[in-house]
Structure 1
């Protein structure tokens, strides 16, 4: 067992540091996906990232001799593997082929609202009225982003939809992983979740081999980077921190991701979201902030 009852209310400094590591590397993932996605299709990129992540995590899992997770942890690990490591990766990769990295990050980061909504319903973390107000504001922001990118063609609108699908599968993955962490270690939950995601994307193996033969080295290195750092490292530090606080509170730690992504994308890719997309993204994040407001009596979630 790796969760203490009191630890869910007040995360220790190590957990906060783990969350900070996650935020940084997840932000960098949006930029790497955007770059590698020019040469790798969504499914192939997901498989390459997951296979790399599973290999790295498997080495550490074997070295630490942690063994198999307890039976009670498997439902949560399996669902998070399918929803988060599998469907989320493919949806995000596809969405980032249609919209820039900064816009994608702002859309995906409506996830904390969905985490709070699902966590309140299924994990008993509460459903305050501010949650629904924030959901309405974020939905309005997503609509604004949709109109902002509409001038680029239907594919860009599709990108908005795919990023929102990614937000939903991300939220569902977090909420299903949370109960598993009452029984499994962070490494066990991450390794086996990643392994399940890799198995789920195996149908793209032939495409991955074909594209790898023609992709530039820089694109392949980006894919390997995604597997080692944003996946193997950052998902493990996320699980470690999640085991020590609520799902809703952990979701809120990703507020900083879009700002970091915009700066990274500008520096590395030379791209910036349009002013209208930024306005819509700010509305999305404002909705997240509203949803996380608590009255003094509900300040625990």
Structure 2
């Protein structure tokens, strides 16, 4: 539109978000040396809640309305509890870069759920992208599955991507009434509730864990949750939806680079090819064209015969 003002594309915030989210995958691998998956989930969510408490006390976090209680709880249980537990358990057997490429299939699951739940129509591009991305995930699985444990780990990560996609579908209507900070606070709160039974064990492991492993857990709460959320919010505020999706494509790249630098590991070459196929499929689905609006017919000038008929009837 001519009167619509466009802000500059927030490339710095997009790069920061990709790096912060990508750093989660090697951080998880480091933390798993001394922590169980439940420990990491408990400490990460607790760290995020503690860091967001000042925003709650100052009124920057909105009050949760009763009609939205169940949907917000579902968002927390799928996007925080299920996603994190499945991802952490899967990364016990899968490299961080491979895990990031498999998690990149999350938009594909979101497309399927959008069709089933929200009655969205992805169109030909969306369906083609879905098929390509799933084919790429299959290539990654076949290239990286050296044993039963690796296959089980990859299955868990794919389930984590499906859980994340479910949380996106549940969160979408909430964003019309709540800010991103509201969602991350209440999502973390509901996500932590079923894990409270594991809190004593997590606290005990935090006492005996190494400094590097504990720092990785704290980084997951601070950098990969709170800071990444802040930068992602700036991206959503300033960029279009198609531009924002570039962040999702850059996360596996950042994870691969950080995994190589910090841990000295890289997926097999064929797994990297499969990851590129996954990203290509997600890009195809994101580029689907919206349905064309029917052009409005211009009002026809009144015909002389109709004017004459009106004159006679009057």
**TM-score band w.r.t. shorter chain:** 0.7 to 0.9
Instruction: Calculate the TM-score normalised by the size of structure 1.
Output: 0.86
Report if aligned partners of 2:48, 2:225 keep a CA contact under 8 Å in 1. Answer: yes
Distance in 2, Cα, partners of 1:173 & 1:17: 26
Match in the other structure for 2:184:
190
Deviation at 1:239, TM superposition (A): 5.4
Distance in 2, Cα, partners of 1:210 & 1:118: 39
Match in the other structure for 1:48:
43
How well do the aligned residues superpose, as a CA RMSD in angstroms?
Answer: 2.8
Deviation at 1:279, TM superposition (A): 1.8
Report if aligned partners of 1:116, 1:247 keep a CA contact under 8 Å in 2. Answer: no
Match in the other structure for 2:222:
228
Matches within 5 A, 1:112-261: 112-123=107-118, 125-151=120-146, 153-238=147-232, 250=244, 253-261=247-255
Distance in 2, Cα, partners of 1:184 & 1:297: 28
Distance in 2, Cα, partners of 1:81 & 1:187: 13
Query: Compared with structure 1, are the counterparts of its residues 237 and 195 closer, same or farther at alpha carbon in structure 2 (3 Å cutoff)?
Result: farther
Query: Compared with structure 1, are the counterparts of its residues 197 and 11 closer, same or farther at alpha carbon in structure 2 (3 Å cutoff)?
Result: farther
Distance in 2, Cα, partners of 1:251 & 1:60: 28
Deviation at 1:20, TM superposition (A): 4.5
Query: Compared with structure 1, are the counterparts of its residues 144 and 241 closer, same or farther at alpha carbon in structure 2 (3 Å cutoff)?
Result: same
Deviation at 1:187, TM superposition (A): 1.7
Query: Compared with structure 1, are the counterparts of its residues 214 and 278 closer, same or farther at alpha carbon in structure 2 (3 Å cutoff)?
Result: same
Gaps of 5+ in 2: 294-314
Query: Compared with structure 1, are the counterparts of its residues 22 and 125 closer, same or farther at alpha carbon in structure 2 (3 Å cutoff)?
Result: farther
Instruction: Calculate the TM-score normalised by the size of structure 2.
Output: 0.82
Deviation at 1:293, TM superposition (A): 2.6
Query: Compared with structure 1, are the counterparts of its residues 156 and 80 closer, same or farther at alpha carbon in structure 2 (3 Å cutoff)?
Result: same
Query: Compared with structure 1, are the counterparts of its residues 21 and 71 closer, same or farther at alpha carbon in structure 2 (3 Å cutoff)?
Result: farther
Query: Compared with structure 1, are the counterparts of its residues 294 and 105 closer, same or farther at alpha carbon in structure 2 (3 Å cutoff)?
Result: same
Match in the other structure for 2:66:
71
Report if aligned partners of 1:27, 1:257 keep a CA contact under 8 Å in 2. Answer: yes
3-state DSSP of counterpart to 1:83: helix
Distance in 1, Cα, partners of 2:15 & 2:116: 27
Report if aligned partners of 2:144, 2:267 keep a CA contact under 8 Å in 1. Answer: no
Distance in 1, Cα, partners of 2:234 & 2:172: 10
Match in the other structure for 1:26:
21
3-state DSSP of counterpart to 1:183: coil
Q: Which stretch has the larger CA shift, 262-271 or 228-237?
A: 228-237
3-state DSSP of counterpart to 1:201: helix
Q: 2:288 aligns with which of 286, 289, 294?
A: 294
Deviation at 1:195, TM superposition (A): 1.0
Gaps of 5+ in 1: 1-5
Match in the other structure for 2:268:
274
3-state DSSP of counterpart to 1:158: helix
Deviation at 1:120, TM superposition (A): 4.5
Greater CA radius of gyration, 1 or 2?
2
